[in-house]
Amino acid sequence: MTKQKAKAYWKENIRYLIILLAIWFLVSYGAGILFKDELNQIRLGGFKLGFWFAQQGSMYVFVILIFVYVRLMNKLDKKYGYDE
């Protein structure tokens, strides 16, 4: 039983990781590098959007991602009784 519980917990954890890391990849490697030229056609005030993602936006998203992760995991720990 505990083994099944641990398995289910781990599965949900992995799902969160995949979603969060997909966003991590999109804002930095996607918006800041691979699609920067396309995004640079769009302006955000004085910034070209691709440049902004590379030097500002990606970093803000990184911080948000970690705090979202902290919240999700705290909830998950509670759900499975692993919190302390």
Partner 1 sequence: MMNSFLFAEGIGVQNWTYILVGITFALYIGIAIWSRAGSTKEFYVAGGGVSPLANGMATAADWMSAASFISMAGIISFAGYDGSVYLMGWTGGYVLLALLLAPYLRKFGKFTVPDFIGDRYYSKTARFVGVICALLVSFTYVAGQMRGVGLVFSRFLEVDINTGVIIGMIIVLFYAVLGGMKGITYTQVAQYCVLIFAFMVPAIFISIQMTGNPIPQLGFGSTIADGSGTYLLDKLDGLSTDLGFAEYTEGSKSLVDVFAITLALMVGTAGLPHVIVRFFTVKRVKDARKSAGLALLLIVILYTAAPAVSVFARTNMIETVSNKPYNKMPEWFKKWETTGLISFTDKNNDGLVQYVANETKNELVVDRDIMVLANPEIAQLPNWVIALVAAGALAAALSTAAGLLLVISASVSHDLIKKMINPKISEKGELVAARLSAVVAVCVAGYFGINPPGFVAATVALAFGLAAASFFPAIILGIFYKKMNKEGAIAGMVVGILSMLFYMTKFKFGWFGGGTKTNWWFGISPEGFGTVAMMLNFIVSIVVMKFTKAPPKDVQDIVENIRIPSGAGEAVNH
- Chain residues binding partner 1 by CB under 8 A are 6, 9-10, 13, 17, 20-21, 24, 28-29, 32-34, 36, 40, 44-48, 51-52, 54-56, 58-60, 62-63, 65-67, 69-70, 73-74, 77, 81-84
User: Minimum distance from CB of 1 to partner 1 (Å)?
Assistant: 14
Is residue 43 classed as helix, strand or coil in its secondary structure?
strand
| CA nearest to 63, candidates 28, 15, 16, 18 | 28
Q: Pick the closer one to partner 1 by CB: 1 or 69.
A: 69
Q: Pick the closer one to partner 1 by CB: 1 or 32.
A: 32
Q: With the C-alpha atoms ordered 52, 53, 56, 61, is the resulting torsion angle positive or negative? A: positive
Q: Which two tokens stand for residue 84?
A: 């302390």
User: Minimum distance from CB of 13 to partner 1 (Å)?
Assistant: 8
| CA nearest to 65, candidates 2, 4, 16, 13 | 16
